[in-house]
Amino acid sequence: MSSAFYLEFFVNDKDRFKMLQKVFYELQKAKQNDFPSLEDENYWLKFFDKEALEYFWFPTEDQLKKLKEAEKSKMSGRELSELSSKMRGDKWHFASMLFCIDNSEYNLLSCELLFDSRMARLEFDPLAHPYGGTEPLICLIESFGFKVTKDTG
């Protein structure tokens, strides 16, 4: 049994799990080597199918314009955050998920099925405390349609 921190989740589709694994191990490589860049949103889009991408918020041109206008105004940081939150609802901004994973202080270790193959575990090793939290990793898992059942982080 590993002493790493982990997220366990129910796997209801093996093909989607393979897609998650592919992006996970690419993220692992990127965090270790700073390549490919986690800032290159277009590079990462290819790892997500249409269904997974629907989980995220991609601002429209109009929304971006409103946010830029709000940034230039005397709007407080809190008000700006509330405006952004209203626009995106419960969805994570795709690039923000990548940014959070990139800047969180942990190593990504593994993403594998457990012995019964209905559950999987994503393991990570925090390098500091606080390390940034599990929210972006949960977002990644949920974008492929899986539900996290245990979070030891």
**What pLDDT digit, counting tens, does each position of 6-60 carry?**
999 999 999 999 999 999 999 999 999 878 888 899 999 999 999 999 999 998 8
- Are residues 153 and 100 located together in one domain of the fold? yes
Please give the residue that has the higher pLDDT: either 142 or 66: 142
- Are residues 86 and 37 located together in one domain of the fold? no
- Are residues 104 and 151 located together in one domain of the fold? yes
Please give the residue that has the higher pLDDT: either 106 or 72: 106
pLDDT surpasses 70 at 1: no
Lowest mean pLDDT among 15-19, 38-42, 66-70, 77-81: 77-81
- Are residues 85 and 96 located together in one domain of the fold? no
- Are residues 86 and 99 located together in one domain of the fold? no
Long-range contacts of 54-58 (CB under 8 A, 24+ apart): 55/91, 55/92, 55/139, 55/142, 55/143, 56/91, 56/92, 56/93, 56/94, 56/97, 56/143, 57/87, 57/88, 57/89, 57/91, 57/92, 57/93, 57/94, 58/93, 58/94
> Mind listing the pLDDT tens digit for each residue in 112-139?
999 888 999 999 999 988 888 899 999 9
pLDDT surpasses 70 at 2: no
The residue segments making up the domain with residue 147 are: 12-26+33-55+92-123+133-153
Confidence (pLDDT) at 124? 96
pLDDT surpasses 90 at 142: yes
